[in-house]
Amino acid sequence: MVFGKIEYLNLLPFHVFMKRFTKSSQQSISMHYKRGVPAKINEKFLSRRIDAAFISSISAKKCKHVNLGIIAKKEVLSVIVVPNVENETDIESASSNVLAKILDIKGKVLIGDKALKHYLQEKPYIDLAAEWNSRYKLPFVFALLCYHKDQHLYKNIERQFSKQRVKIPQYLLNAASLRTEISKKDILNYLTYISYDLNIKAQRGLSLFYQKS
């Protein structure tokens, strides 16, 4: 299994789960084999250089997926626009750039850990997921867990991950904090804003995003 791994904090609980889920060393190595930012992982998945990954929702429209995603219940803190500066997309992003355009929000798009750091520094920002929710009263789905084959495996991952409350070991939390320069407290608080359950309401939000894009 060659799995595309995005190193953003929003997937930290899933990566912890996958360490426990994978049994053999070969599977574990495969899971880490391809790393990258969302835009690069999208490209590798669509060209079949990886078997599965969380794929940006704008790129996942015609892909097979399970009912797991990266979903903002309301605000998300890590997908923002910096206002009052020249319009600029984020080269690491796919869905977020489209979302800013749909919402007609001007400025510089920032995603991921750098966006979270901007938020924590209390600088001016517009939270794109919060703006989406304010207008449409629906969650925003940023990515879906997509796969090319082995549906049974990924459905099993969905079932197992959905029924567990993943506790992040302190050594991994420490490592994430050192890597991102974000405190452990702020990381744990941030993760409360993220959902992975592609439920009916999230599916409605995703369908509306596809209509508008």
Write down the CATH number for the domain with range 4-70+140-198.
3.40.190.10
Residue 119's CB is within 10 A of a number of other CB atoms, namely 20
For residue 146, list its beta bridge partners: 53, 65
Q: What is the mean pLDDT of the chain?
A: 92
Backbone angles phi, psi at 70, to 5 degrees: -105, 110
What's the confidence (pLDDT) of residue 34? 77
Residue 3's CB is within 10 A of a number of other CB atoms, namely 23
What residue spans define the domains of the chain? 4-70+140-198
Q: What is the DSSP secondary structure assignment for residue 57, as one 8-state letter?
A: T
Convert the pLDDT of each residue in 65-113 to its tens digit: 999 999 999 999 999 999 989 999 999 988 999 999 999 999 999 999 9
Structure tokens at 200: 């009916």
For 114, half-sphere exposure in the C-beta direction (CA atoms, 13 angstrom radius) is 11
What's the confidence (pLDDT) of residue 27? 57
- Cβ(101)–Cβ(209) below 8 Å: no
Convert the pLDDT of each residue in 147-158 to its tens digit: 999 899 899 999
Confidence of residue 194 (pLDDT cuts 50, 70, 90): very high
Nearest CA among 157, 152, 109, 153 for reference residue 129? 109
Convert the pLDDT of each residue in 6-50 to its tens digit: 889 999 999 999 888 886 655 555 555 678 889 999 999 999 999
What's the confidence (pLDDT) of residue 29? 52
- Is the pTM above the cut of 0.85? yes
